[in-house]
Amino acid sequence: MERIPTVPRAEELKDRAFRRASKIEVKKGSAVPDTRKKINSVIDYVGGRLNKVVKSFPTFENLHPFYRELFDLMFGIDNARQSLGAVQWAKDNVQSLGPQARQRLKKGDDPDTVRKMVYGRISSIVDKVADDLLFLDDIRNVMKKTPELDMEAPTLVICGYPNVGKSTLLRRLTRAEPEVAHYPFTTKEIHIGHLRIGKIRIQIMDTPGLFDRAVDEMNPIERQGIAALRHIADAALVIMDPTETSGFEWESQLSLLDMISGTFDLPKVIVENKSDHELYRTRMEGSVRFSALSATDDEVDELVSTIEELMSSGPNWAVKPPSTARGRAPRARDK
């Protein structure tokens, strides 16, 4: 995701513009051209900063569907468009004051009166979009923390109920590349890690916990995980807790598994976790018995082999040249 510059607050924008203009001296013999310079300085600064705000945001329609759905959940793309439209309106109105000021100065109006008129109009216009600027800076802070995903890489999404061991499993799987990036998503986190199998680098995403309910009944945090399954997953690893020490009954976990299977046409590996626990017993045929906390390296290797077999027939299982644009949104004019 391309980095968006800090969005200025309304007061900061006005203060800096007027402070810059105050350095231009108005002399008695050149009051009109000097006043024009002061006015143009303010208009150019404010108009330029507002224009930069609008142009620095990506065209949401051109984003990868995962990012579009994610941002819609996080702040509402329509809300962002409305605020960007308001800032565009402010920019256009500020810049329209230049010709008006020149016309009045040409007619012989008092330069100081014209300057005060322009300054007052600019202050009023900027104040009208103060809340939009604040909102857009909040959006910018959210967007800069979104994961840098390689949309061409084979992607495995780990899902399941909360507290069943998803994050621990991710750490065990990515031991060859132990750095795992943490990206705040509302009040939860999505973790991104990578696993190299031969020449193939698999992207692994650990999503917030899901619950046994229809997608349209899920809260925005859960639906972030659904967005990952819908748009970027080549396969799913569903981790389950047969011991029920996570606080969730086995039947509820089975219902979630059925929902995932019925909603997404994805190859899956099902891991029955916590095999080292005294309450553990295998409950499913064909599942992988595992303990994310205490598995040996050989056991982790066996799970990696299962993942490789599961994903190797997928369309993304190929060595592809690196691309700096993967997962990034293009800058564009039309929001």
Domain boundary among 92, 118, 143: 143
In a domain, 24, yes or no: yes
167/284 same-domain check: yes
**Digit-coded pLDDT (tens) for 253-276:** 999 999 999 999 999 999 999 999
CATH of the domain at 84: 1.20.120.1190
In a domain, 323, yes or no: no
129/180 same-domain check: no
Domain boundary among 120, 143, 166: 143
94/191 same-domain check: no
Please give the average per-residue pLDDT across 110-124, as a whole number: 97
137/228 same-domain check: no
In a domain, 85, yes or no: yes
Residue 272: domain span:
155-311
Question: What total number of domains does the chain contain?
Answer: 2
In a domain, 4, yes or no: no
CATH of the domain at 292: 3.40.50.300
184/230 same-domain check: yes
Check if the beta carbon of residue 49 is closer than 8 Å to that of residue 91. Answer: no
Q: Is the pLDDT of residue 322 over 70?
A: no
Tokens of 222: 């859960």
Q: What is the per-residue pLDDT for 25?
A: 94
β-strand 155-159 against 200-206: which pairing, if any? parallel
Question: Quick one: pLDDT band at residue 212, thresholds 50, 70, 90?
Answer: low
In a domain, 328, yes or no: no
139/237 same-domain check: no
Question: Of 9-13, 58-62, 222-226, which has the strongest mean pLDDT?
Answer: 9-13
β-strand 268-272 against 288-289: which pairing, if any? parallel
For 87, 154, 335, the CA distances from 83, given in Å and listed in that order, are 6, 36, 11
Q: What is the per-residue pLDDT for 74?
A: 82
Domain boundary among 143, 166, 195: 143
209/300 same-domain check: yes
In a domain, 149, yes or no: no
50/76 same-domain check: yes
**Other residues' Cβ atoms within 10 Å of the Cβ of residue 272:** 23
168/139 same-domain check: no
Select the more confidently predicted residue: 314 or 80.
80
For 6, 57, 210, the CA distances from 331, given in Å and listed in that order, are 16, 7, 34
In a domain, 283, yes or no: yes
64/162 same-domain check: no
pTM (2 d.p.): 0.77
Please give the average per-residue pLDDT across 206-219, as a whole number: 70
Cβ-based neighbours of 128, under 8 Å, separated by 6 or more: 86, 90
Please give the average per-residue pLDDT across 217-223, as a whole number: 69
Q: Position 177: which residue type?
A: E
In a domain, 2, yes or no: no
- In whole angstroms, give the CA distance from residue 71 to residue 61: 12
Q: What is the per-residue pLDDT for 327?
A: 39
Q: What is the per-residue pLDDT for 2?
A: 61
- In whole angstroms, give the CA distance from residue 227 to residue 209: 13
115/171 same-domain check: no
Q: What is the per-residue pLDDT for 4?
A: 85
136/162 same-domain check: no
Tokens of 83: 């605020």
